[in-house]
Structure 1
Amino acid sequence: MTATTQGNDYFNLHTNGIGYLNRVRWVETKNGGRRADTFLACSISALRGNADKPDYTYFDLRVSGDEAIDMVERLGVDVREQRKVVVSFRIGDIYPHLYERDVLDQNRRKTGQKEMATLIKGRLLLINSITIDGENVYRREADAPQDDLQPGYDEPSQGEGVDQEWHEPEQEQRLEQPAPAPAARPAERSAQHAAQQPRQQRGPVNRPPAPPRHPQVARPPAAPPQGNAAYNAGYATGRAVRRTVDSAPA
């Protein structure tokens, strides 16, 4: 983490790292306050420690700046398809958030008890690289502009969304669980799901993705930033390759 001064008015606290992108969603603020607007949010499980057996630090983030919003909004498609999206990121203005969560038993069922927990919130300012299912689709050039790193701070009491569960990462529950097996591709997941159903209840296995949680606040895709040609080309090529692999016969 680094603290820098911007003129004489701001102190910026920046955190750089690598982690898994999750829970991309549009959040509608409540109470009609001063910051009552809709914003894009995501969570990142940042890697730390031994590369062979890493630990995780969980960030719940508001995406800031046109470029970051455009990238994260597109990557939301891959996240919903349960692909492994790894990003190299820069976060600003972090602060701890205290919340109450359910206590789970050994079978991960609610016990009726509550406990206090914390996680780190902040603003996602910049994405330096993107890797999807092990394939690098974007890497920022060293001399690329970084115009979206303006100073700013979201107070903990401002900008809370109506999604009351968005700040609780599944991996942060009291009982740690073994790491899940690599996610199957959509066609494989559908076939496995159909095989587990009773024969008389089987239906079509290729279902369309579920609609966004807040369709009324979904916004049209943003126009790609002009200085982001490498991202647009790499991302489009990567998605075309992945769709070809997924649609190939088993």
Structure 2
Amino acid sequence: MANDTQDKQFFNLHASGIGYLNRVRWVETNNRSGGRRAEPFLSCAINALRGSSDSPQYTYFDLKVVGEDAIQVISDLEEAVNAERKVIVAFRAADLYVHTYERRKRDGRNGQRSDEMETASLIKARLLLITSAKVDGELVYKREEPEEGDAGGVDDAGAEPGDAGDGGNTDTDQPQEANPAEPPQRREPANQRPQGQHHAGDRGQGQRSRGGERGSDRREERQHQGRDQRGDTRSDRYARN
């Protein structure tokens, strides 16, 4: 049994373009099945331009307006469309599919509908947003650019292929723990070092102290010799007298 709580994934099909807006209307749904009646929805048609700007061709879109901002913009443009003013919009649509239907064929001489039927087709889609609109060449609406990280306020309720799961996160490396720095070695006083362990500076100081002691002994010896010589001289002087 399938897990009913599993999230469903959807594939999006988007199209963006520029075209002439017409046939703005609110559509009342027919309750043919006898169930709950659906709410009316806003609909419009756009003849999208394609090809060279010198000689463009047209692709006909029949659109259900679903974006919150798009509903407001199309509603504001309805009066200009009904007045047969030239309304050009830049748009974005989703969930495109081809719809075929039967219609009365037009007479090639006068353009009137004849009794002969023909098969026609158009593209149906959901209108997500309007990015700009001009009425008779004058800019009347321009959508503000969304802030970074903002999807533009349009919920497509879909996911691109490959978006399921953990998002492709393959980073499994663990952070490396830094080795703590070794503390600097501290010189211990000479009187606290183990016996037999001396620092080079201590040896130098010992050599200097021993050298100083030997020098002082020599000076004392010379002083004694001098006093003895002076004593002998005085003794000889007394003996002669």
Please tell me the TM-score bracket, short chain as reference. 0.5 to 0.7
Residue deviations 1:126-157, cap 9 Å, x none? Answer: 111111111112222322552223227xxxxx
- In the alignment, the residues of structure 2 paired with residue 96 and residue 35 of structure 1 have an alpha-carbon distance, to the nearest angstrom, of 26
Which residue, 144, 149, 153 being the options, matches 1:147? 153
2:26 matched residue in structure 1: 26
- In the alignment, the residues of structure 2 paired with residue 109 and residue 131 of structure 1 have an alpha-carbon distance, to the nearest angstrom, of 31
Relative to structure 1, is the Cα distance of residues 35 and 118 closer, same or farther in structure 2, using a 3 angstrom cutoff? farther
Q: 1:83 Cα shift?
A: 1.2
2:117 is aligned with 1:136: no
Which residue, 59, 68, 73 being the options, matches 1:66? 68
Highest relative contact order (Cα 8 Å, sep 6+), 1 or 2? 1
- In the alignment, the residues of structure 2 paired with residue 150 and residue 66 of structure 1 have an alpha-carbon distance, to the nearest angstrom, of 12
Contact persistence 2:31–2:37 (CA under 8 A) = no
Contact persistence 2:98–2:123 (CA under 8 A) = yes
List runs of 5+ in structure 2 lacking aligned partners. Answer: 1-6, 159-241
Q: 1:109 Cα shift?
A: 2.3
Question: Which piece of structure 1 moves more, 27-36 or 15-24?
Answer: 27-36
1:118 matched residue in structure 2: 121
Matching residue's letter, 1:125:
L
Q: 1:104 Cα shift?
A: 1.6
Residue deviations 1:70-116, cap 9 Å, x none? Answer: 11011001111111111110000011111001012121223311011
Q: 1:31 Cα shift?
A: 2.5
Q: How does 1:54-133 map to 2 (within 5 A)?
A: 54-105=56-107, 106-133=109-136
The DSSP-based 3-state class of the residue aligned with 2:12 is: strand
1:14 matched residue in structure 2: 14
What TM-score comes out, normalization by structure 2 length? 0.57
Cα root mean square deviation, aligned: 1.8
- In the alignment, the residues of structure 2 paired with residue 141 and residue 123 of structure 1 have an alpha-carbon distance, to the nearest angstrom, of 21
Contact persistence 1:12–1:92 (CA under 8 A) = yes
Contact persistence 1:64–1:148 (CA under 8 A) = no
The DSSP-based 3-state class of the residue aligned with 1:151 is: coil
Number of aligned residue pairs: 146
Q: 1:32 Cα shift?
A: 4.8
- In the alignment, the residues of structure 2 paired with residue 124 and residue 83 of structure 1 have an alpha-carbon distance, to the nearest angstrom, of 21
Which residue, 24, 42, 45 being the options, matches 1:43? 45
Q: 1:35 Cα shift?
A: 6.8
Q: How does 1:234-245 map to 2 (within 5 A)?
A: none
**Structure 1 segments of 4+ aligned residues over 6 angstroms from their partners:** none
The DSSP-based 3-state class of the residue aligned with 2:122 is: strand
- In the alignment, the residues of structure 2 paired with residue 11 and residue 100 of structure 1 have an alpha-carbon distance, to the nearest angstrom, of 30
Contact persistence 1:14–1:92 (CA under 8 A) = yes
Q: Decide which structure has the larger Cα Rg and report it.
A: 2
Contact persistence 1:21–1:86 (CA under 8 A) = yes
Contact persistence 2:30–2:37 (CA under 8 A) = no
Q: 1:37 Cα shift?
A: 2.1
Q: 1:8 Cα shift?
A: 5.9
